[in-house]
Amino acid sequence: MRKISIIGGGQAGLLLGFSLLDKGCSVSLYTDRSAEQVLNSRIPSTAFMFDSSLAVERELGLNFWEDLVPFGEGMHVDFRGPDGSIGLTVQGRLGNLQGQALDQRTKFARWLQEFPLRGGKLIIHAVSVADLEKIAAESDLTMVAAGKGQINAFFARDDERSIHTVPPRRLAAMLLTGPGLLGDRPWKRVPFRPLRFNFIAGAGEYFTLPFYTHTRGECRSVLFEAIPDGPMDRFQDARDGHEMLDIARQVVAELAPDDLHHFDDATLTDDDAWLKGSFVPTVRKPVGRLPSGACVMAIGDTAVLNDPIAGQGSNNAARMVRHLADSIVARGNAPFDAAWMHDTFERFWNDSAQYTTAFTNALLNPPGEPVMTVLGAASQHPPVGDAFMRCFDNPRNYWPWIADLDEARRFVAERTEERCAA
Ligand SMILES: Cc1cc2nc3c(=O)[nH]c(=O)nc-3n(C[C@H](O)[C@H](O)[C@H](O)COP(=O)(O)OP(=O)(O)OC[C@H]3O[C@@H](n4cnc5c(N)ncnc54)[C@H](O)[C@@H]3O)c2cc1C
C-alpha cells in the first residue's frame, strides 16, 4: 500500500486525502488547526464551486450540504463607469453546470472529523521545512497543500508563469444575511438566483454570491476587489466586519447605487464572517528538494495561486485532485521521484491550470476586442450569454476565441445561428 503524506487540511489537501483513501492508499494528513479551531476562526475565503468541481466531492460522498446550499443558477454582470452608471449588462444561465458556495469553515471542519472515520491518519501540527524532512523519509510521496501558508516559500517562484510582482487587488469579503439578499429571486431584474458581478472602471469589482454557513444557514457573500489606491480601496483600516459593512454601504452607494437597497437591514452572519488583505498571485515550481535530497510536491494554491476575481482557486484544486489521484494510481509501485512530480504537474498545467491562470489574469484587465465582441453579443442574445458563463466551469473552454477576434465572431455566429435555426 502506497504511503502518502499531505500537508494542509484545506480544499486541495483534504479532497486529495479522501480521494487517495478511496483508492486504497495509506494517507497521513498534517494540518495546523483542529476541526474546532477551523469552525471558530475567521472566514478564509468565499469560494463558489461549479458543477464539475462539485462532482469530485459528490463522487467521494463528501457533499454533506448539497440539499442546504442554495444553487447559483447563473450570472448577472454589470459593467459600470467610474460614476456607477451601467454601460453594459450581460446575463447567462449555468444550466446543468450551476454551482454552490459553502463556508470553508463549515466544510473543512466537517471533513477533518470525517477523515479519521474513513481510515486516514490526522495530525494537528504546523509543519516546518525541517519537519518535511522527517515526513518525507517516512512516506512514498509527500505533497504540500498549505495554501498561502508561509511554508509555500519553500517552492521557488516560476518567473515565466507568474506575471504579478505586487497584489493586483486589495480584497475585502463578508458573509451577510438580510431580507434583500436571500431567496430565489433576490434581484428583481434577474430571472434566476444569480452570482452578481459588477466591474467598475477604475475602481475594481464587487461580487455577491448565494452562500451557506453553519452559523446562519442561507446567506450571501460579498467580495470587493479594489484596485489599490482607487476609489473602492477603503476597507483595509477597518477593525472588524461591522466597520467593513459600513464601508461597503458607502462604496455601493457611490459605485453601484441601484444595489444599495439590498443592504437594507443586512447584518454579518457572525462576528468572524469577514476577511481583508492582499497577496501576490504566484505560480511556483512544483518540486521542492530537501537538504537530504528527498523531494516534495506543491499542490493547490501552494502551486498555482490566482487572484479570486474569476472564482477559480477551489475549482482548480478540485481539477488538480482528480488529475493527481489518477496519476498516483497509474504510477503503480514505481517511485514518486522528481521527474514524476515534474511531469505530473506539467501535464496538469498544460491541460488545465495555464488556462485558469490566463483567464484570471485577463479579468484583472479591461477586456480585449474578442471578449468585447462576445459580451456585446451576449447582452443581446441569451444563448451567447449562457455559453459565456458556462465556460467558468472550465476556463479552458474560453479558448481559442478569448484571444482571437475571428474565433470570437465564429463563437457568436454559431450560437446566434443555432437560435435562428431552433
Ligand atoms: C476572498 C476569496 C474568495 C475566493 N473565492 C473563490 C471562488 O469563488 N471560487 C474558487 O474556486 N476559489 C475561490 N477562492 C480561492 C480558494 O479559497 C482557494 O483557492 C482554495 O481554498 C485553495 O485550496 P488549498 O487547499 O490550496 O488551500 P487552503 O484551502 O487555503 O488550505 C490550506 C490549508 O493548509 C493549512 N496550513 C497552512 N500552512 C500549514 C503548515 N505549515 N502546516 C500545516 N498546515 C498548514 C491551512 O491552515 C489550511 O487549512 C477565493 C479566495 C479568497 C481569498
* DSSP code string of 244-265: HHHHHHHHHHHHSGGGGGGGTT
* Distance in Å, CA 147 to ligand 1 centroid: 5
Instruction: Please classify residue 421 by burial: count the beta carbons closer than 10 Å to its beta carbon, then call 0-12 exposed, 13-18 middle and 19+ buried.
Output: exposed
Contacts of 258 (CB under 8 A, 6+ apart): 86
85 plus 193 within the same structural domain = yes
Q: Radius of gyration (Cα) for the chain, nearest Å?
A: 21
One-letter amino acid for residue 256 of the chain: A
297 plus 155 within the same structural domain = yes
E strands present in 127-203:
141-144, 170-177, 194-200
| For ligand 1, atom 13: residue with the closest CA | 47
Q: Measured from the CB, is residue 100 less than 6 Å from ligand 1?
A: no
pLDDT above 70 covers a percentage of the chain that reads 99
Q: Looking at 235, 256, 277, which one is the last position of a domain?
A: 277
Nearest 10 degrees: CA dihedral of 18, 100, 88, 85?
Answer: -110
Q: Measured from the CB, is residue 360 less than 6 Å from ligand 1?
A: no
What values do phi and psi take at 197, rounded to 5?
-115, 140
* Distance in Å, CA 238 to ligand 1 centroid: 23
Domain count, the chain: 3
* Distance in Å, CA 213 to ligand 1 centroid: 17
Q: Measured from the CB, is residue 363 less than 6 Å from ligand 1?
A: no
209 plus 331 within the same structural domain = no
* Distance in Å, CA 24 to ligand 1 centroid: 26
pLDDT score, position 421? 54
Q: Measured from the CB, is residue 129 less than 6 Å from ligand 1?
A: no
78 plus 159 within the same structural domain = no
Q: Which grid coordinates belong to 381?
A: 442574445
Structural element, H or E, at residue 305? strand 304-305
Task: Give the integer Cα–Cα distance in Å for 408 and 402.
Answer: 7
251 plus 382 within the same structural domain = no
Task: Give the integer Cα–Cα distance in Å for 358 and 353.
Answer: 8
Q: Measured from the CB, is residue 99 less than 6 Å from ligand 1?
A: no
29 plus 78 within the same structural domain = no
Q: Looking at 277, 295, 310, which one is the last position of a domain?
A: 277
pLDDT score, position 417? 79
Q: Measured from the CB, is residue 49 less than 6 Å from ligand 1?
A: yes
51 plus 113 within the same structural domain = yes
178 plus 224 within the same structural domain = yes
The pTM (predicted TM-score) of the whole model is: 0.97
User: Between β-strands 282-283 and 304-305, what pairing exists: parallel, antiparallel or unpaired?
Assistant: antiparallel
Q: Measured from the CB, is residue 47 less than 6 Å from ligand 1?
A: yes
154 plus 218 within the same structural domain = no
Q: Measured from the CB, is residue 28 less than 6 Å from ligand 1?
A: no
The range of the structural domain enclosing residue 236 comes to 74-100+168-277
The strand pairing partners of 2, in sequence order, are: none
Whether 135 maps to a domain, the answer reads yes
Q: Measured from the CB, is residue 353 less than 6 Å from ligand 1?
A: no
Whether 13 maps to a domain, the answer reads yes
Whether 208 maps to a domain, the answer reads yes
Here the CATH number for the domain that contains residue 331 is 3.50.50.60
* Distance in Å, CA 305 to ligand 1 centroid: 9
Cα dihedral 340, 342, 343, 344 sign: positive
Q: Measured from the CB, is residue 111 less than 6 Å from ligand 1?
A: no
354 plus 385 within the same structural domain = no
Here the CATH number for the domain that contains residue 207 is 3.30.9.40
338 plus 273 within the same structural domain = no
pLDDT score, position 419? 59
Task: Give the integer Cα–Cα distance in Å for 41 and 375.
Answer: 39
| For ligand 1, atom 47: residue with the closest CA | 32
User: Which of 28, 57, 301 is the best mutation target for the ligand 1 pocket, counting ligand atoms within 8 Å of the beta carbon and taking the most?
Assistant: 301
Q: Could you read off the pLDDT of 282-334 as tens digits, one per residue?
A: 999 999 999 999 999 999 999 999 999 999 999 999 999 999 999 999 999 99
Task: Give the integer Cα–Cα distance in Å for 394 and 53.
Answer: 9
Which DSSP symbol is given to 219? Answer: E
Which DSSP symbol is given to 232? Answer: T
User: Between β-strands 287-289 and 86-93, what pairing exists: parallel, antiparallel or unpaired?
Assistant: unpaired
Q: Could you read off the pLDDT of 38-97 as tens digits, one per residue?
A: 999 999 999 999 999 999 999 999 999 999 999 999 999 999 999 999 999 999 999 999
Task: Give the integer Cα–Cα distance in Å for 6 and 12.
Answer: 10
* Distance in Å, CA 12 to ligand 1 centroid: 8
Number of neighbouring beta carbons within 10 Å of residue 236: 15
CA 275 to ligand 1: nearest atom: 1
| For ligand 1, atom 1: residue with the closest CA | 45
Q: Measured from the CB, is residue 15 less than 6 Å from ligand 1?
A: no
pLDDT score, position 393? 97
90 plus 115 within the same structural domain = no
Q: Measured from the CB, is residue 72 less than 6 Å from ligand 1?
A: no
pLDDT digit string (tens) for the chain, length 422 residues: 899 999 999 999 999 999 999 999 999 999 999 999 999 999 999 999 999 999 999 999 999 999 999 999 999 999 999 999 999 999 999 999 999 999 999 999 999 999 999 999 999 999 999 999 999 999 999 999 999 999 999 999 999 999 999 999 999 999 999 999 999 899 988 999 999 999 999 999 999 999 999 999 999 999 999 999 999 999 999 999 999 999 999 999 999 999 999 999 999 999 999 999 999 999 999 999 999 999 999 999 999 999 999 999 999 999 999 999 999 999 999 999 999 999 999 999 999 999 999 999 999 999 999 999 999 999 999 999 999 999 999 999 999 999 999 999 999 999 997 655 54
* Distance in Å, CA 13 to ligand 1 centroid: 10
Q: Looking at 277, 296, 327, which one is the last position of a domain?
A: 277
Whether 69 maps to a domain, the answer reads no
Whether 36 maps to a domain, the answer reads yes
pLDDT score, position 59? 98
User: Which of 5, 6, 7, 11 is the best mutation target for the ligand 1 pocket, counting ligand atoms within 8 Å of the beta carbon and taking the most?
Assistant: 11
